[in-house]
Amino acid sequence: MPPQLPSQNQKGPRILQGDPGTLSPAFKEFVDANVSLCQPEYLHICDGSDEENTAILTQLEEQGMIKKLNKYENCWLARTDPRDVARVESKTVIVTRDQRDTVPTPLEGGVSQLGRWMSPEEFDKAMAQRFPGCMKGRTMYVIPYSMGPVGSPLSKIGVELTDSPYVVASMRVMTRMGKAVLSALGTGEFVRCLHSVGCPLPLKKPLVNNWPCNPEQTLVAHIPDHRQIVSFGSGYGGNSLLGKKCFALRIASRIAKEEGWLAEHMLILGVTNPAGEKKYMAAAFPSACGKTNLAMLCPTLPGWKVECVGDDIAWMKFDDQGNLRAINPENGFFGVAPGTSAKTNPNAMETIVKNTIFTNVAETSDGGVYWEGMDQALPEGVTITSWKNEPWSKEDGEPCAHPNSRFCTPAEQCPIIDPLWESPEGVPIEAISFGGRRPEGVPLVYEAFSWQHGVFIGAAMRSEATAAAEHKGKMIMHDPFAMRPFFGYNFGQYLSHWLSMADRPGAKLPKIFHVNWFRKSPTAGFLWPGFGDNIRVLDWMFRRVNGEAIAQPSAVGYLPCHDSLNLQGLQEDVDLNELFSLDQEFWQREVEDVRKYFTTQVNHDLPKEVAQELEFLQQRVKKI
């Protein structure tokens, strides 16, 4: 660890709330060490109460960091500094003694796309440059929080120390936090999270939008061996709400490897057919590829029902009966706003009208929110202020909301939240889908031939880049398991861990599928209507899980037999031949691209079973 500076404030910070003396020795030691390092003026131990939340929101409003949206109940708008709007993958690192514990060694010394490694020495230096005195003049908030229902055997506890009241308000939505978590923790283990916006008081330069951040010094570091997360310089959710991707995926994936379970970037939904039979499914898509829309689907097929357990992260563990049980470790939805509308996701639109914090969306003059793809006509005379806090009109030629603008909203408000969404033992997963944005070549749905083939399909996932991170443009990027930015350890070992699930005695392995809602025709846009009509694909998967003979083998996996997709009542003509066509040339290129990726990026850590599945695919493609 970096050198600890003695506090300038010899008496220590003034306690605004809570009693540090009641914390467990390990907890108190964690707080004391970082108080000494960061030198906050005040200390506030969060209890998660309504009174505390109201006080925090009031304080944020007084500081000009958020604005009340009078059109809705207890809803708020934050506008960030335009330099602090997304996850910063280039400044997100995993710290291990050996580089190969974090990432496979790329071929011929290339740069790894599967994570960024930092040595412990470099990390200590980075800490020493950033954290001493970084909270001067500010309050350090102590947030005890549970990922997963408090007390569930699948849940884990974290403690985040932060100088951002925006983080406190958001963590209250996204996690279970406060007194109940402190009681459940006792003297138990917890993940240590330290966050600072990196702007000690008095300020050296004026803030933009009253949003404290220090983009030049941003660093988001994970130290899996010490169960520790350190974030500096960014207030944006993905970098500052440390329970989210940092803990729930990067650190949790490493814990899961050690303890024999899976921490995945997956939605969880319950699907009930017209006969009343229910199944739970999980699905992994890259950020901004429709996870939230699928998790809150409004079925267009009569008699079907979809209920939401979670829209982003799944923790899954086999129980004693061999069922793969999943919990959603989160307590809220941190959804991408643009593209969310009454047509694409009416359930999300109903969820976000109260107790929601919006970030970087546009604001209407009648106290509401607005973004691209909302598809709502504004009342006459109502004007729009953009996320940059400037008057906006369609003629401006730029979006009114940032492409990665967000809503942070409580999951319990979702009208179709699943009755078992907080079940301590989790829900049984019978199907897992992978998918992404593939404008050409990839069919609407296919099923893996085996668990090993399914792991290969996850490993070979590719998708058009989106706005959720700092990448630009429409290039097709490799995004294995939709986890590329979130692996907490070497991807080759991660694949071996997934493959090992098949060796568990009595394990009832879910069927694995791949879906692609985004295939386009060269002339007429998307080939599949998507959204509520995706129930037709879930229906086929549901019947496949039940063992119905409605699939035929193809080069890529099992495809639906002729007439096995229920298209009854479909509002538009769909060209099934084009939607399911397999072009040999396209798939030969795909095989070569995946081979090149595996060879250069995963190199010696690629499990032989995955390499073998690629050879099998190549042989099948030759016969198309």
**CA–CA separation, 187 and 189 (whole Å):** 7
Q: Are strands 391-392 and 384-385 parallel, antiparallel or unpaired?
A: antiparallel
436 conformational bin, left if phi > 0, alpha if psi -120 to 50, beta if neither: beta
**CA–CA separation, 279 and 269 (whole Å):** 8
What is the 8-class DSSP label of residue 412?
A: G
**CA–CA separation, 578 and 92 (whole Å):** 41
Determine how many CB atoms are found less than 10 A away from the CB of residue 177: 25
Q: Are strands 384-385 and 314-318 parallel, antiparallel or unpaired?
A: unpaired
Q: What are the distances in angstroms from CA 164 to CA 92, 209, 248, 355, 607? A: 19, 15, 20, 19, 43
Q: Is the Cα torsion angle 344, 350, 353, 355 positive or negative in sign? A: negative
* Identified catalytic residue from 38, 193, 213, 289: 289
Q: Output the six-digit token pair for 414.
A: 């979702």
H-run or E-run covering 495: helix 491-500
Q: What are the distances in angstroms from CA 131 to CA 35, 142, 198? A: 10, 17, 8
**CA–CA separation, 195 and 89 (whole Å):** 17
3-state SS string for 286-323: CCCCCHHHHHCCCCCCCCCEEEEEECCCEEEEECCCCC
User: To which residue do tokens 């009693």 refer?
Assistant: 19
**CA–CA separation, 246 and 232 (whole Å):** 13
Q: Which residues contact 552 (CB under 8 A, 6 or more apart)?
A: 558, 559, 560, 561
User: To which residue do tokens 């009569």 refer?
Assistant: 302
CA angle 451, 454, 459 (to 5 degrees): 130
- Is residue 62 helix, strand or coil? helix
What is the 8-class DSSP label of residue 469?
A: B
**CA–CA separation, 303 and 75 (whole Å):** 34
CA 256 to chain centre: 17
338 by Cβ neighbours in 10 Å (0-12 / 13-18 / 19+) ranks as buried
- Catalytic annotation present for 561: no
405 conformational bin, left if phi > 0, alpha if psi -120 to 50, beta if neither: beta
Q: Are strands 551-553 and 558-560 parallel, antiparallel or unpaired?
A: antiparallel
Residue type at 519 in one-letter notation: R
Active site residues per annotation: 289
